[in-house]
Structure 1
């Protein structure tokens, strides 16, 4: 399609309405998703949503005369798109929350829970490893094929539920409950080897405290747990690709359950 024909297609009333509804869904997803959180400026997120809306909206077929709908019908369709984008963003947030939960488990075991740092994504004070795991989740997401799969998932959402179409809420509630129930297990799976190493160290320190009660175990245990935890986490991150991929895959399983 040449440039004049493309411009004429974008200015057509039905096509313009489709682009607007697509933008509503994508802007809701990007504004409420932790992946495109506070670390990315608002203007950049809206620009990216507009660019993706144009690319995806021009490829969609016009199945109904949306331009002939009334103002209230268009407003209701826009609200449905905003709601669907928010539900899809919730699936993304829950997947990334597993990384933060895994980091909090390590913070409690190692002793970093006593200190707080500013997380640039959530703009809240969080323990050290919780913030580090959140940043690691972002780096792993954009450096792997998960981001490309996210774009394919967006295309799937428009194929199953075209812009302005109604979508059922009941499947989203069921999938949300299931995803929330597996959130702790997913977060634990991300750091399970490190937790296991720290548990072995705790057992060894317990045996030492029983046999040598005159030792100050608090002063001895804290630096040992920090060293052992950081060393185990450094070794584990080299082979944590499968666990991270499983966490990212939970996004698309959530979307697949919602977009039935």
Structure 2
């Protein structure tokens, strides 16, 4: 019992931290993963980490108040990592919004079950694509390394993060637009060229219905450019997620 009790307490605290990380990010929420599967995954991963890191086990029996305080601290630590991950996913959302507005898909809305609100078509598609890109670019491996480092820096039952600079997160969040634009820059440029050509055509042919002609043309151009660009966009995609993890390292060091 003397060995089992610290293991169980540490396991429960790490499960809280992992639950916040996966619950506050689109890693699981974007696809219909059953809640029971999510819970089993979180508890299994927490058990594996607890068994692999015995030197970080809680070494004393906490009271009810102390245990509540530890749970709150674990939720804050997991929330910090989740916030940095969401910065990378937000870049995809910004890039999709740029294209949606340019080609006119912002007019048509679809219901997004993740955000519980109306979302333009490409924004909904990009939300699913961002999760797939997160796994394809090995972002999950970086996430596991970041989580283990966070455990080493702030073990379960500790007083919290010894070093945390919120200003780093604020400055990094300001670069979201740049990261989102880099994801779709060639597509935006192609649509801008079409818009410039339509503007010149409208001046020479004032009776032409620019809206009726330009909308389908911009949609075809935008989707064609997007289909040609996305297979070659591995570098900006990796940079979007890499910048979010870089913010995490810098904010706690």
- TM-score past 0.5 threshold: yes
2:151 matches 1:151: no
2:220 matches 1:224: no
1:51 to 44, 48, 60: 44
What is the DSSP-based 3-state SS (H/G/I as helix, E as strand, rest coil) of the residue aligned with 2:111? strand
Structure-2 change in CA distance of 1:64 and 1:22 (3 Å): closer
How many residues are aligned here? 252
Q: Structure 2 stretches of 5 or more lacking a match?
A: none
What is the DSSP-based 3-state SS (H/G/I as helix, E as strand, rest coil) of the residue aligned with 1:122? coil
2:251 matches 1:258: yes
1:13 maps to 5
Query: TM-score, normalising length from structure 1?
Result: 0.90
2:15 matches 1:23: yes
Structure-2 change in CA distance of 1:169 and 1:215 (3 Å): farther
1:166 maps to 159
Quote the Cα distance in structure 1 between the aligned partners of 2:179 and 2:127.
14
* Range moving further from structure 2, 35-44 or 207-216: 35-44
1:5 maps to none
1:4 maps to none
Post-superposition shift, 1:259? 3.0
Post-superposition shift, 1:38? 5.1
Over the residues paired in the alignment, what is the CA RMSD in angstroms? 2.0
Q: Structure 1 stretches of 5 or more lacking a match?
A: 1-7
What is the DSSP-based 3-state SS (H/G/I as helix, E as strand, rest coil) of the residue aligned with 2:221? helix
Quote the Cα distance in structure 2 between the aligned partners of 1:169 and 1:30.
24
1:35 to 27, 30, 33: 27
What do residues 182-234 of structure 1 show as CA deviations (whole Å, max 9, x unaligned)?
A: 11111111111110111111111111111111211111100100010000101
Query: TM-score, normalising length from structure 2?
Result: 0.92
What do residues 33-54 of structure 1 show as CA deviations (whole Å, max 9, x unaligned)?
A: 1222152332222211111100
2:125 to 110, 128, 132: 132
